[in-house]
Every structure is written in C-alpha cells, then in structure tokens.
C-alpha cells in the first residue's frame, strides 16, 4: 500500500474525501498548502496526501523526492510507466473511500503536474472513482476516450504554462 499523510476532521465522520497527488520529484507534503486551504473551506473533509512509491530518477543517483512513474526514455516507456502506476493509485483511492464509507461522488482527486496526469487518467480507467478532479499544471496523457458521467473536471494552469 502507498504511504500517505492523512488529515481527518477533528470530530465525527468525514463528509468528503480529497486525495491529493504530488508532482514528480516531490512528496505528499508538497500538497500540504492546498490541503490546508481545502480543510479551512471544508472542515468535514478527510485529506489524503500520498507519497509516490518510486524514488525520483531525473537526477543521477536519485533526487530528494518521489515519482509515480519515470519520465525518462521515449514516449512508449513513459506510457508504460503511467499504465503501470495507475492500478496502485486507483487502489489507494478506493481504499480510503471504503475506509471512510464515502461514495465515489463524495471523493475529489487533486493533482499537480504528474499527479494531475494520474488523476485524469485514473478517471479514464474507472469512471465512478471520483466526483471531481482538480488538475493543476497537468493534462491528459492520451486523448480521453470518453467523458466521465456526473464528474466535474477542472484544468487549472498558470500564466507560464504552455
């Protein structure tokens, strides 16, 4: 199971679940400022900030952070890495939703960069995984094959994003 930092409501059962996926070369704590802002807005929400399972490999000898999949190699190698990473992410989301007894409509995925790509692609794998996705500085890795029904997708970018 992927390790995660978890923030729960001070008392009572959570009403929402946010799973926040960090970018390559970081860790779950990269998403802490967003988690704290969401917690202020949604005090009855649980927030899960997982650490990607693999050491960051873009720097010789590894970097300080983690990655969901390697971005090294050609397009086929990156696509294979993304495909390999998806089941563990889907399992993590399902695990926390079931543990907190929340239906998929009460689950939101947030991701930055590589985490945004994973969040968007996870919804292509399983439509009823989350009711919304907040994708910061990320995009679909592949053209979507379908629009998930009853899901809100927010693509958020800065002025310097291409």
Angstrom distance (rounded) from CA 162 to CA 158: 9
Q: Which residues contact 111 (CB under 8 A, 6 or more apart)?
A: 20, 21, 22, 23, 117, 118, 119, 120, 133, 134, 135, 136, 138
Q: What is this structure's pTM? A: 0.93
State residue 115 phi and psi, 5-degree precision: -65, -35
Angstrom distance (rounded) from CA 86 to CA 114: 12
pLDDT tens figures, 48-97: 999 999 989 886 665 679 999 999 989 888 889 999 999 999 999 999 99
Whole-number pLDDT of residue 58: 80
Which secondary structure element, helix H or strand E, spans residue 119, and what is its range? helix 114-125
Whole-number pLDDT of residue 63: 65
Angstrom distance (rounded) from CA 137 to CA 148: 20
Task: Say which residue, 144 or 112, is predicted with more confidence.
Answer: 112
Whole-number pLDDT of residue 61: 60
pLDDT tens figures, 117-157: 999 999 998 889 999 999 999 988 888 888 888 999 999 98
In this structure, are residues 132 and 18 in contact, taking their beta carbons and an 8 Å threshold? Answer: no
């Amino acid at each position: 199971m992927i390790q995660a930092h978890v923030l729960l409501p001070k008392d009572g059962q959570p009403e929402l679940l946010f799973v926040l996926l960090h970018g390559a070369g970081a860790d779950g704590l990269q998403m802490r400022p967003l988690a704290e802002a969401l917690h202020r807005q949604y005090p009855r929400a649980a927030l899960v900030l997982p650490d990607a399972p693999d050491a960051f490999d873009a720097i010789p000898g590894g970097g300080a952070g983690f990655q969901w999949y390697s971005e090294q190699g050609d397009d086929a190698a990156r696509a294979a890495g993304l495909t390999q990473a998806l089941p563990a992410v889907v399992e993590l989301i399902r695990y926390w939703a079931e543990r907190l007894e929340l239906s998929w409509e009460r689950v939101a995925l947030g991701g930055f960069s590589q985490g945004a790509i994973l969040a968007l692609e996870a919804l292509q794998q399983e439509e009823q995984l989350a009711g919304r996705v907040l994708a910061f500085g990320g995009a679909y890795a592949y053209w979507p094959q379908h629009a998930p029904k009853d899901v809100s997708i927010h693509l958020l970018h800065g002025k310097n994003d291409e």
